[in-house]
């Protein structure tokens, strides 16, 4: 009768095969996750731009989409009293949440009470990951045209 089990050569061959498959799969998985993080942060920026437009219209006062290298947030006048600016929603820390860096062409986009951007110029927000980057474009009137 022979020995039951696997020989050392068979175990080494299986480990080498697992290593080759992992070395091919892990970089593709990492790149896919990075692209998804960039896409998710772009969607978040577009959502917050719509939130700023909606807050300006609903409250009847200017609202601002603020951006830094690692965060995005919306401010508008408060409802009680209406003169003070308050934060609408929560400040989104895209740098730590999605591991990306923002490079906006302007630091803020101000929407008037009609929901139109107060400065008529297109804006670009670059979303930069370690190996992948994309951008969000806001047109002259403040609407997201490329996401």
Is the predicted pLDDT of residue 1 greater than 70, yes or no? no
pLDDT of residue 82: 61
pLDDT of residue 54: 93
Give pLDDT tens digits for 36-87: 999 999 999 999 999 999 999 999 899 999 999 999 999 998 877 666 788 8
The pLDDT of 82-109, averaged and rounded, is 90
pTM for this predicted structure: 0.83
Q: Strand 144-146: give its sheet, edge to edge.
A: 101-104, 123-128, 133-138, 144-146
Which residues partner with 103 through β-bridges? 126
Return the minimum-mean-pLDDT range out of 3-7, 63-67, 94-98, 108-112: 3-7
Mean pLDDT of the chain: 91
pLDDT of residue 16: 94
Asked whether 138 and 123 are in contact (CB, 8 A), the reply is yes
Q: Which domains does the chain have, with CATH numbers?
A: 8-146 (3.55.40.10)
């Amino acid at each position: 009768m022979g020995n039951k089990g696997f020989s050392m050569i068979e175990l080494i061959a299986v480990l080498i095969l697992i290593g080759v498959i992992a070395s091919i799969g892990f970089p593709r998985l990492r790149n896919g996750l990075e692209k998804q993080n960039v896409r998710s942060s772009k969607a978040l920026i577009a959502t917050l731009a719509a939130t700023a437009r909606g807050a300006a219209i609903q409250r009847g006062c200017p609202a601002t989409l603020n951006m830094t290298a690692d965060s995005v947030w919306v401010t508008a006048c408060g409802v009680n009293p209406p003169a003070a600016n308050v934060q609408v929603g929560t400040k989104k820390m895209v740098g730590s949440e999605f591991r990306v860096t923002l490079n906006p062409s302007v630091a803020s986009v101000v929407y008037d009470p009609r929901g139109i951007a107060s400065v008529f110029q297109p804006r670009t927000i670059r979303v930069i990951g370690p190996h992948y980057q994309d951008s969000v474009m806001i047109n002259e009137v403040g609407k997201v045209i490329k996401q």
